[in-house]
Amino acid sequence: MRIETVFLFDLDGTLVDSVYQHVLAWKEALDAEGIPLSVWRIHRKIGMSGGLFTNQLLRETGLDIDPERIDRLRRLHAEAYGRLSKGVVPLPGAKELLATLTENRIPWAIATSGRMETAGHNLVALGVDPDQVPVVTRDLVKYAKPDPDLFLAAAERLNAPIEHAVIVGDSIWDMLAARRCRGLGVGLLSGGYGTEELERAGAVRVYDDPAMLLQHLDEVGGRR
Q: What is the pLDDT of residues 128-174, one digit of tens each?
A: 999 999 999 988 998 888 899 999 999 999 999 999 999 999 999 99
The Cα angle at residue 216 between residues 122 and 150, in degrees rounded to 5:
40
Tell me what percent of the residues of the chain surpass a pLDDT of 70: 97
Candidate list 12, 147, 174, 209, residue with the active-site label: 12
Q: Please state, in angstroms and rounded to a whole number, the distance separating the CA atoms of residues 89 and 208.
A: 17
Are 170 and 191 in contact by the 8 Å Cβ rule? The answer is: yes
12 is catalytic: yes
187 φ/ψ angles, rounded to the nearest 5 degrees? -100, 150
Q: What is the pLDDT of residue 124?
A: 93
Q: Alpha helices, DSSP H only, in 85-215?
A: 94-103, 116-126, 149-157, 172-180, 195-200, 210-215
Nearest by Cα to 161 from 173, 171, 152: 152
10 flagged as catalytic: yes
Q: Is the pLDDT of residue 1 over 70?
A: no
Catalytic pick among 10, 149, 170, 209: 10
